[in-house]
């Protein structure tokens, strides 16, 4: 999914307008910005970034990019280097979420440059971690691990910003788990979890525990993995992280079934379905429905199983209609 790079074109258009006004004899004040004006610009950039975060959480990437781009412009206007680094790292996350790894890499490299110019180790760490995520997405797990390692060193270089350290430890743990180094991965998740728990960063804590559950499950420790998945659910509920709740419940359901606890698995799958449906998460809805249908005979929920079969059929039908190409009768006429 390719998304337009909004920020550069918007800034060039604004610059062209300013030049045109200058040529016409219309000038702006050349007085330096007062300190409170600079603070206002930084606060505005932060507010715009928060709006972008909200859209990013809902996977509305184009809308998130719009606000991150505006946040970047607000930071650059007052030469706020750390703010610009943060905005471009956020743009990198949005591009990566949309599947545009090349644009994500560009933004993360620009973010790294701003972090370097600002002399901010945490900002550089976040950018390095982003580049690691790009490498991971492109299948270069070893390269990703190396970048995550560099990011951890930067984040742990005496800075007081524990958020950057928690992020980079988590990312390094994910890469280690993917390479089969699960004991090391669990150690990284545990350190990140401790930092996020102390700072009450609930959504980040949920991600730590969810990744921990996956690593434990892959190690054959289903009971411990179930406890971690339920811990992730608790954290995400505290943080009202609606996108993650169905995934946590699905993990708990699958692990409960693996432990022979079919009745508990049924309840978790039902809750996952309800949560996903409320948040319009079609992928999680489908997964929950399929699992409930499969589990129905084992739990004696035959009639409920039939109801879920009908719901899955309706979902299939609705998606089939939405994916079908327009008929000649309904298609717009070609332009002359």
pLDDT tens for each residue of 245-294: 999 999 999 999 999 999 999 999 999 999 999 999 999 999 999 999 99
Q: Tens digits of per-residue pLDDT, 116-148? A: 999 999 999 999 999 999 999 999 999 999 999
pLDDT for res 158: 62
Q: Where are the domains of the chain?
A: 243-319
pLDDT for res 41: 83
pLDDT for res 332: 34
pTM (whole model) above 0.85: no
**How many other C-beta atoms lie within 10 A of the C-beta of residue 281?**
22
Residue 157: pLDDT band (50, 70, 90) is confident
Average pLDDT of the segment spanning 18-38: 50
- Distance CA(288)–CA(265), nearest Å, equals 11
* Phi and psi torsions of 261, nearest 5°: -100, 70
Of 154-158, 181-185, 303-307, the poorest mean pLDDT is in 154-158
- Distance CA(48)–CA(52), nearest Å, equals 6
CB 85 within 8 Å of CB 127: yes
- Distance CA(293)–CA(226), nearest Å, equals 22
pLDDT of 11 > 50? The answer is no
Averaged pLDDT score across all residues of the chain: 88
- CATH class of residue range 243-319: mainly alpha
* Phi and psi torsions of 319, nearest 5°: -70, -35
Q: Nearest to residue 107, comparing CAs of 149, 152, 69, 153?
A: 69
Dihedral over alpha carbons 207, 272, 320, 59 (to 10 degrees): -30
pLDDT for res 327: 42
Residue 39: pLDDT band (50, 70, 90) is confident
């Amino acid at each position: 999914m390719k998304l337009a790079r909004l920020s550069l074109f918007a800034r060039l258009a604004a610059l062209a307008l300013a030049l045109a006004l200058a040529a016409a004899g219309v000038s702006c004040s050349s007085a330096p910005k007062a300190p409170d004006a600079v603070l206002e610009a930084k606060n505005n950039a932060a507010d715009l970034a928060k709006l972008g975060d909200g859209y990013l959480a809902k996977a509305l990437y184009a809308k998130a990019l719009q606000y991150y781009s505006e946040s970047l412009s607000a930071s650059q206007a007052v030469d706020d280097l750390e703010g610009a680094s943060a905005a471009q790292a956020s743009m990198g996350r949005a591009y990566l979420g949309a599947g545009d790894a090349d644009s994500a890499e560009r933004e993360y490299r620009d973010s790294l440059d701003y972090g370097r110019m600002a002399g901010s180790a945490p900002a550089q760490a976040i950018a390095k971690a982003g580049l690691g995520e790009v490498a991971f997405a492109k299948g270069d797990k070893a390269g990703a691990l190396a970048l995550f390692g560099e990011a951890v060193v930067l984040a742990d270089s005496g800075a007081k910003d524990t958020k950057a350290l928690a992020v980079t430890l988590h990312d390094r743990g994910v890469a280690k788990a993917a390479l089969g180094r699960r004991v090391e991965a669990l150690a990284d998740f545990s350190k990140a979890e401790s930092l996020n728990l102390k700072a009450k960063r609930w959504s980040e804590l949920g991600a730590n525990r969810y990744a921990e559950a996956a690593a434990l499950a892959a190690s054959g420790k289903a009971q411990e993995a179930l406890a971690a998945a339920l811990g992730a659910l608790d954290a995400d509920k505290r943080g009202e992280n609606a996108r993650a709740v169905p995934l946590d419940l699905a993990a708990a359901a699958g692990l409960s079934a693996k432990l022979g606890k079919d009745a508990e698995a049924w309840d978790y799958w039902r809750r996952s379905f309800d949560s996903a449906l409320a948040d319009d998460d079609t992928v999680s809805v489908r997964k929950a429905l399929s699992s409930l249908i499969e589990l129905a005979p084992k739990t004696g929920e035959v009639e409920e199983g039939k109801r879920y079969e009908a719901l899955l059929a309706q979902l299939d039908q609705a998606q089939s209609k939405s994916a079908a190409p327009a008929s000649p009768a309904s298609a717009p006429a070609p332009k002359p």
